[in-house]
């Protein structure tokens, strides 16, 4: 064997060790993600009323926004650009 053969053999062994370490790290990450997902799902299952109340708050906010008139209605159609430009010119704005 020459020096080149020894060098390549060492790289192969290091490559296998590196792959095993990467695989172990990836498995640890996946296991942790699964554990955290299970904890989150258990917490959400234990508190279903909290999710319902946030949906109710969101619906209440949307209803109050509609009452103020900030929400567009179906009758509101955008003006053509030519009308908007004519309005800008007649009001003194330069385009």
Q: Domain span at residue 38?
A: 3-90
Compute the distance between CA of residue 90 and CA of residue 18 in angstroms, rounded to an integer: 73
| Structural domain includes residue 95 | no
| Structural domain includes residue 74 | yes
Nearest-5° Cα angle at 87, 84 to 92 = 130
Single pTM value for the model:
0.38
pLDDT in tens, 60-94: 665 655 555 555 555 678 889 998 888 888 888 76
CA-to-CA dists, residue 38 to 29, 31, 44, angstroms: 14, 11, 10
How remote is the C-alpha of 6 from its chain's centroid? 49
| Structural domain includes residue 33 | yes
Phi, psi of 80 (to 5 degrees): -65, 155
């Amino acid at each position: 064997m020459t020096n080149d053969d020894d060098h390549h053999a060492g790289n192969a062994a290091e490559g296998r060790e590196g792959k095993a370490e990467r695989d172990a790290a990836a498995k640890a990450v996946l296991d942790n993600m699964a554990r955290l997902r299970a904890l989150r799902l258990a917490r959400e299952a234990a508190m279903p009323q909290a999710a319902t109340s946030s949906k109710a708050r969101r619906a209440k906010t949307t209803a109050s926004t509609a009452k103020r008139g900030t929400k567009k209605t179906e009758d509101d159609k955008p003006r053509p650009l030519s009308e908007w430009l004519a309005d800008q010119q007649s009001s003194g704005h330069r385009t």
